[in-house]
Amino acid sequence: MTADLDDATLVEPDDEGGDGLTHVIAASGDGQRLDLLVSTSLDISRNNAATLIANGNVLVQGKREKASYKARAGEEVVVTLPPPAAHEVIAEQIPLDIVFEDDDLLVVNKPAGMVVHPAPGNWTGTLVNALKGRGGPLATTSEGREGIVHRLDKETSGLLIVAKSDRAHRVLGAAIADRRITRRYAALTWGHVTEDRFTIEKPIARDPRDRKRMAVVATGRAARTDFTRLARLDPADLLRAHLHTGRTHQIRVHLSSVGHPVVGDDTYGGGGGRKLVGLPPRRHFLHAAWLKFRHPVSGAELDLRSPLPPELHRGLTVMLGPDAPAEGVDLLEHFGFYDLED
């Protein structure tokens, strides 16, 4: 079951839904086209939404309607996604950095460049391939996403929770949806923000001009990120980002929207000057460094931390120049990343 769905509730498929997943959407305003409502709520292209409608996969109050139908407030829209084409997920022997593990879950320190789960263009080399290669139990979610509770972008490194039991997956998914799992990221951004502490609360959806990107879109899904500046460097700021929602590319989109893209982020305008920081190609300076949550079975408080990986540590050291602390110092500890509560 996928977590963090504010505007659509994901439920298990019924007999008519086959192996697909069924989304139930409550229309919240009068006059929105059906194809646009489905596209925004499910984070799919408008063309894909129109195809689902034309194929009878979308029902409004139990009836088929056209893509141009104007949904009224309170109407129930049921979208049944057809099952994905079968594709074997291969178990692969890929080393993983496990920072916590017990019978119910594990937390992995994902490297940059690793995709979380298989998808077209990335059927091998993913975190799920590596998890299957380790052996042992994983929560029985959809094929290819076994155990996955939440995701990180391919080029974002850091801590990610994996459920080993169905019970743990269910409890952790609910905890993310209820904002009871604290996720904090270290980000280096170009330029200087105007305040030491600020919040960006802007809706996010697919960029209507480029389906490979996300963007701030008025009809998008609600998204909130809190930021704290930890250091003001010559050309950039070191920020701590606290996620309240988990939209695709959320931190990167929010920072780009205020003119301070993540350093090294080619997609959202921060790629220029990568050589100045010494980052590898395609690497952006975003790291999921801190997780705090209650264990889904024991209830014990877990506080898990990940220092900056070597390439980000080197990049930040380059930015600091002669002000860089002695070699071996944890730069996140040095700048108080774990000291203050958002």
What Cα–Cα distance (Å) separates residue 175 from each residue in 5, 122, 145, 149, 198? Answer: 12, 29, 19, 10, 25
SS3 60: strand
Same-domain check for residues 191 and 161: no
Write the burial class of residue 299 (CB in 10 Å: 0-12 exposed, 13-18 middle, 19+ buried). Answer: exposed
CA distances from 264 to 239, 273, 310 (A): 15, 7, 15
**Residue 314, SS3 per DSSP:** helix
On whether both 194 and 246 belong to a single domain, the answer is yes
Inform me whether the pLDDT recorded for 285 exceeds 80: yes
pLDDT band at 2 (very low <50, low <70, confident <90, very high): very low
pLDDT cut 90: percent of the chain above it: 71
For the cut 70, the answer to whether the pLDDT of residue 11 exceeds it is no
**214, 247 contact by CB (below 8 A):** yes
Whether residues 211 and 329 share a domain: the answer is yes
Closest CA to 204 of 227, 190, 221: 221
Question: Mean pLDDT across the stretch 190-198?
Answer: 97
Q: Domain ends where: 80, 113, 140?
A: 80
State whether 212 and 328 are in the same domain: yes
pLDDT of residue 304: 98
**Tens digits of residue pLDDT in 204-259:** 998 888 878 999 999 898 999 999 999 999 899 999 999 999 999 999 999 999 99
Domain for residue 48, yes or no? yes
- Quick: pLDDT tens for 52-76: 999 999 999 999 999 999 998 888 8
Query: Which one, of 131, 140, 160, 141, lies nearest residue 293 by Cα?
Result: 160
Residue 329 shares a structural domain with residue 250: yes
Angstrom distance (rounded) from CA 293 to CA 301? 6
Give the closest residue to 169 by CA, choosing from 251, 217, 105, 113: 105
CA distance 100 to 302: 9
Statement to judge: residues 217 and 327 lie in one domain: yes
Task: Give pLDDT tens digits for 305-316.
Answer: 999 999 999 999
In a shared domain, residues 67 and 138: no
pLDDT at 136 over 70: yes
Same domain, residue pair 102 and 150: yes
Q: At 163, which CATH number?
A: 3.30.2350.10
Of 94, 33, 31, 88, the residue nearest 58 (C-alpha)? 33
In a domain, 125, yes or no: yes
Say if residue 28's pLDDT is above 80: no
190 CB contacts (<8 Å, ≥6 apart)? 235, 236, 260, 261, 263, 270, 273
Say if 154 falls within a structural domain.
yes
Q: Which residues are marked as active site?
A: 153
Range of the domain at 134: 98-177
Same domain for 62 and 49, yes or no, is yes
Q: 70-103 burial by CB neighbour count: b if 16+ within 10 A, else e? A: ebeeebebbbbbeeeeeeebeeeebebeeeeeee
User: 218, 198, 252, 236: which is closest to 321 by C-alpha?
Assistant: 236
Judge if 328 and 220 occupy the same domain: yes
Asked whether residue 92 is domain-assigned, the answer is no
Residue 88 lies in a domain: no
In three state form, how does the secondary structure of 81-97 look? CCCCCCCCCCCCCCCCC
- Please check whether residue 111 lies inside any domain of the structure: yes
Tally of CB atoms within 10 A around 330 = 14
- Per the structure block, which two tokens stand in for 315? 């990049």
The pLDDT score that the predictor gives to residue 51 is 92
Residues 218 and 140 in one domain: no
Q: Render pLDDT for 83-96 as a digit per residue (tens, 0 to 9).
A: 666 678 899 999 99
Return the structure tokens found at 186: 């270290």
Q: Which of 136, 161, 177 is the last residue of a domain?
A: 177
Write down how long the chain is: 342
Question: At 21, which CATH number?
Answer: 3.10.290.10
Residues in CB range of 337: below 8 A, 6 or more apart: 184, 186, 230, 240, 289, 290
Phi, psi at 229, each rounded to 5° = -80, 125
Residues 6+ apart with CB under 8 A from 4: 150, 176, 177, 245, 246, 247
| Number of domains the chain contains | 3
Q: Is 341 among the domain residues?
A: no
Residues 146 and 204 in one domain: no
Last residue of a domain, one of 177, 200, 223: 177
Q: How confident is the model at residue 7 (pLDDT cuts 50, 70, 90)?
A: very low
pTM to 2 decimals?
0.79
1, part of any domain: no
Between 47 and 22, whose confidence is greater?
Answer: 47
